[in-house]
Chains A and B, each alone.
Chain A
Amino acid sequence: MLARLAENLYWHGRYLERAEDIARLINVTAHLNLDLPSGLIAGWKPLIRITGNAALFEELEEEADERSIVRFLLFAENNSSSLKATLEYARENLRSARDLVPREVWEQMNALYLKSSERLNSKLSKRRRQDFLEGLILDCQQMAGTLQGTMSHDHAYDFMLIGRHLERADMITRILEVRGYDLLPDTAEDLGPFESIQWMSVLKSLTGYQMYRRHVRSRVSGSDVLRFLLRDGQFPRSVMFCLLVLEDLIEGLPGEDDRSLRSVTRLQRLLNDTQVRNLKGRELADFMDRLQIELANADLAIRHTWFGSGS
């Protein structure tokens, strides 16, 4: 398989997952704010930090309210990591490799992109925004399902999945870093009755609430949620699950260079060797940083080994 096309598919996987994650974050934040008393609404700012765009945001926007933040995340012209731009990259990368994927998937991608470029603008009302984002999440899931059910699970497929799971693991650590820092401060003070619903929102942003309840069977508490989202081996939106998938996929790729594989197993060890339940405050943020750095190493190793790019 040509290295260029493998790279296109890898980035397609990453961007599409990123688009879905942005949509989930925004919807869940909107929900959460409805439940919080007005004094506690700090809800939107963390999204800018989660997506790693604080500096650009401050430069572009004067106020940090829901309106400006959502505009920034969804379609601001100058934000190259807006949802709109992300979908465009997902489409462009798939376009070059479209002969390798089932035709329906290209058509779904195209339809999603066209719909988004039409709807994502300042005319999008709050209510319609929610419907639109929910639809987008379903579209992404539909593409994943079509691929899973109709495409040969060959290397082309593997590279899409590698991109998707690497991106997903990265996004989980970002959500936990930002939200966890707010919710698990260094000094254990009582956050009151709203702590629980805020952790629920973290779970919901990763569609993990229902599965958490089934498998953890305890009230929603910060330490249990952390453990679930970092270490659970069965929930598809936990970091460990993503790492297990990555390990499996990378082992099946050609070549002798095992840097990517070592990077992934190092991440697994890091998670297994850390008492994640006890993390809070600065420590938690630092740990998420370490995970992110190691994920970036894995990305570099993959690009170097199979695409002949990176370093």
Chain B
Amino acid sequence: MNLDDYQPKEFYDELIGKGGRPRVASRAVWKYLKSLDENELGERRAACDLAALVAGITFRVYFEDTGVDRAMPFDLIPRVIALREWQGIEAGLKQRVKALNCFIDDLYNDQEIIRDGVFPAELLANSENFQEQCRGISPPLGIWAHVCGSDLVRDSDGTMYVLEDNLRIPSGVSYMLENRQVMKRVFPELFEDSGIQPVDDYPSQLYDALASLAPSPADYPSVVVLTPGIYNSAYFEHAYLAQQMGASLVEGRDLVVDSSDQVFMRTISGLEPVDVIYRRVDDAFIDPEAFREDSMLGVPGLMRAWRAGNVALANAPGAGVADDKVVYAYVPEIIRYYLDEAPLLDNVPTWKCQSPDEMAYVIDHLDELVVKPANESGGYGMLIGPRSTKKEREQFARLITKNPRNYIAQPTLALSTCPTFVHNGVAPRHIDLRPFVLSGLETYVTNGGLTRVALKAGSLVVNSSQGGGSKDTWIVDTEAS
């Protein structure tokens, strides 16, 4: 195919360097794509669709009216990162998640970081995700966020920044796994001797991390995945991970906590004990005794059982206190405080509206900043300054003044791009990256992660709920090939 016209524009392009030549790690794939003629390419794309169907690609948005599952758009051109760069990112992620876990554990126990004046007490007082019910609890290994999905973006100068940490119930890892399956079917020749690092062991790593949390040692701890049910948008991921780990996929009504605070699931053979719950239900719905009384998704008494140490919950309730976007601004200090190390990964420069000076700056510069509410995810409730209307900016100015603690602002990043199929060829589209970090007895970072791509020209919004697609992510060992 003809790729000579591909122009990365003013952004950093993940595959193509300045001067239009592919970066070292991308050379093989670029050369290969160029060698395909239109027919071959058409065949690959058809094979990709078919592979998705036949392999039972399991991640689809469910449409009630037709019962048909729509695949999340998948782009055939991979996003490539050199292994050497990735190793630095991996170390940075491990450091970050370790510090965040120390932070959460501290907040729910002695709160030394507040006493030492590093983290302001009033921020905690106003945190929506701080769960009073978790005070004084020390979960196994002192770990609260067992599965973390941090979103990384690259700015135009090539620096990789952490944009946010998802410590509650990050999703998307199943796309990462399936994307790789599809690529291996469609481009088997590319994977031979190419030094692409595997991603397939995630489910067994997840299982090991979860099993290591079991309250009492057992050869085969009973691990279950707790889902809100078939109508949840991530249900396929829940079902897929359960299937891949050989764990039972349960709903709240399948579990019961008895008077001695033990958790069981209802089976055709009666009640069977449960040791570890990988829960994909939000804190607020997890236990109607402790949180929302009207929750139909939860298990009455689950918090009692967890507090008594009879069951492990991953992620632990209350872990979300650290993925608040205001807390985010303090992560560099948090890393220095707990680990006495300099942060290996950069935070995006962040203005905290809570500070009057910074708020004044933000309100004066709304047209050039991205404003984010502290507790929303999925790209909702944001203001993207350069694309906003005057009316929207006025509305945000009012919102910020009314509740400064709830807002942060960041410069509009020039997100990096990656060549992507569009209707008339290949064009640059903005991307981000969500690696997943597992913390149990050992810490594990996925080789790469899920690359999300904004399919609309110029768009910076990569969320699948807002029209984003995904790509396979290759960590390539250039020295091996």
Q: Which residues of B contact A1 (CB under 8 A)?
A: 267-268
**Partner-contacting stretch, out of B176-184, B248-256, B288-296:** B248-256
A4 to B267 CA separation, bound complex (whole angstroms):
8
Residue contact B67 to A4, C-beta cutoff 8 Å? no
Asked if A54 is an interface residue, CB under 8 A from chain B, the answer is: no
Asked if B188 is an interface residue, CB under 8 A from chain A, the answer is: no
How many residues of chain B have a CB within 8 Å of chain A?
20
Assess A4 versus B230: contact at CB under 8 Å? Given A99-B239, A110-B67, A255-B269.
no
- The chain A residue sitting closest to B236, CB to CB, is A99
Asked if A96 is an interface residue, CB under 8 A from chain B, the answer is: yes
Q: Is the interface of A mostly helix, strand, loop or mixed?
A: helix
Assess A113 versus B67: contact at CB under 8 Å? Given A4-B251, A96-B230.
yes
How would residues 1 to 24 of chain A score, 1 for a CB under 8 Å from any chain B CB and 0 otherwise?
111101000000000000000000
Contacting residue for B268 out of A99, A110, A255, CB 8 A: A255
How would residues 66 to 103 of chain B score, 1 for a CB under 8 Å from any chain A CB and 0 otherwise?
11100000000000000000000000000000000000
Q: Which residues of B contact A2 (CB under 8 A)?
A: 248, 250, 254, 265-268
Give how many A-B residue pairs fall within 8 Å (CB-CB).
Answer: 41
Q: Which residues of A contact B67 (CB under 8 A)?
A: 91, 110, 113-114
A253 to B267 CA separation, bound complex (whole angstroms):
12
Asked if B349 is an interface residue, CB under 8 A from chain A, the answer is: no
- The chain A residue sitting closest to B67, CB to CB, is A110
Asked if A231 is an interface residue, CB under 8 A from chain B, the answer is: no
How would residues 229 to 268 of chain B score, 1 for a CB under 8 Å from any chain A CB and 0 otherwise?
1100000000100010000111101100000000001111
Q: Which residues of A contact B230 (CB under 8 A)?
A: 95-96
Q: Which residues of B contact A308 (CB under 8 A)?
A: 266
Name the distance in Å between A204's Cβ and chain B's nearest Cβ: 33
Name the distance in Å between A1's Cβ and chain B's nearest Cβ: 5
Residue contact A103 to B239, C-beta cutoff 8 Å? no
Q: Which residues of A contact B19 (CB under 8 A)?
A: none
A212 to B254 CA separation, bound complex (whole angstroms):
46
Name the distance in Å between B60's Cβ and chain A's nearest Cβ: 12
Asked if B458 is an interface residue, CB under 8 A from chain A, the answer is: no
Residue contact A114 to B269, C-beta cutoff 8 Å? no
- The chain A residue sitting closest to B235, CB to CB, is A99
A73 to B278 CA separation, bound complex (whole angstroms):
46
- The chain B residue sitting closest to A4, CB to CB, is B254
- The chain A residue sitting closest to B250, CB to CB, is A2
Asked if B117 is an interface residue, CB under 8 A from chain A, the answer is: no
Name the distance in Å between B234's Cβ and chain A's nearest Cβ: 14
Contacting residue for A255 out of B66, B243, B254, B270, CB 8 A: B270
How many residues of chain A have a CB within 8 Å of chain B?
20
A33 to B270 CA separation, bound complex (whole angstroms):
51
A99 to B268 CA separation, bound complex (whole angstroms):
17
A5 to B267 CA separation, bound complex (whole angstroms):
9
A1 to B224 CA separation, bound complex (whole angstroms):
12
Name the distance in Å between B52's Cβ and chain A's nearest Cβ: 13
Asked if B217 is an interface residue, CB under 8 A from chain A, the answer is: no
Q: Which residues of A contact B56 (CB under 8 A)?
A: 103
Residue contact B243 to A99, C-beta cutoff 8 Å? yes
A146 to B266 CA separation, bound complex (whole angstroms):
29
Residue contact A254 to B239, C-beta cutoff 8 Å? no
- Chain A stretch 295-310: residues in CB contact (< 8 A) with chain B: 306-308
Residue contact B66 to A114, C-beta cutoff 8 Å? yes
A76 to B251 CA separation, bound complex (whole angstroms):
34
- The chain B residue sitting closest to A106, CB to CB, is B67
A236 to B66 CA separation, bound complex (whole angstroms):
35
How would residues 155 to 169 of chain A score, 1 for a CB under 8 Å from any chain B CB and 0 otherwise?
100000000000000
A255 to B68 CA separation, bound complex (whole angstroms):
38
Q: Which residues of B contact A255 (CB under 8 A)?
A: 268-270
Chain B CB within 10 Å, residue with most, of A6, A307, A308: A308
Known: A2-B250, A114-B67. 9 other contacts (CB 8 A): A2-B248, A3-B267, A4-B253, A6-B268, A99-B243, A99-B249, A103-B56, A254-B268, A255-B268
Q: Could you show 26 A-B contacts with beta carbons less than 8 Å apart?
A: A1-B268, A2-B248, A2-B250, A2-B254, A2-B265, A2-B268, A3-B254, A3-B267, A3-B268, A4-B251, A4-B253, A4-B266, A91-B67, A96-B229, A96-B230, A99-B243, A99-B249, A103-B56, A110-B67, A113-B67, A253-B268, A255-B268, A255-B269, A306-B268, A307-B268, A308-B266
The 5 A-B residue pairs with the shortest CB-CB distance in the complex, in nearest-first order: A254-B269, A306-B268, A3-B266, A110-B67, A6-B268
Q: Could you tell me which B residues sit within 8 Å of A by CB distance?
A: 56, 66-68, 229-230, 239, 243, 248-251, 253-254, 265-270
Q: Could you tell me which A residues sit within 8 Å of B by CB distance?
A: 1-4, 6, 91, 95-96, 99, 103, 110, 113-114, 155, 253-255, 306-308
